[in-house]
Structure 1
Amino acid sequence: MARYVIQSASTGRFLTADPEGGEPLWVSLLQQAGGGVTDDMERIAQLVGDYCEPEDFPQVIDLDRLGTANDY
């Protein structure tokens, strides 16, 4: 099962769920992005559409590719 997270290419921040149940928010550290990790590409598309601005240059990162021969 793949694990994806949304990262802003312009700021380096990650989109994650608000720990207090509010709308998603941007955090600086991948360590803080646990609530934004999902295996559902439809959810990723919805989050990008709802919470990312074009100037964020959102990119979807497959966490399971990091540190492998297929790394970014």
Structure 2
Amino acid sequence: MGGFITPPPDYFKIASQVAHHYGGLFICDEVQTAFGRTGQHWFGISHWGVEPDIMTMAKGMANGFPMGNTITTTP
């Protein structure tokens, strides 16, 4: 059996706040959920209204070619 478990509504918001409170970064892996795969938003994290500091993505961005990407909010 595969799939995903949908977290509670405030999960990512609280996780982001905890990471920032302790001087960490909130990193979001969008390999499975990016590029409109959730049906409503371009990135899956957008469902929860949280902006990650770092986001990784792959698969759907290169039409089968093995390629990945990492983007950040600051240089």
Greater relative contact order (CA < 8 Å, ≥ 6 in sequence): 1
Q: Which has the larger radius of gyration?
A: 2
TM-score by length of 2: 0.29
TM-score by length of 1: 0.29
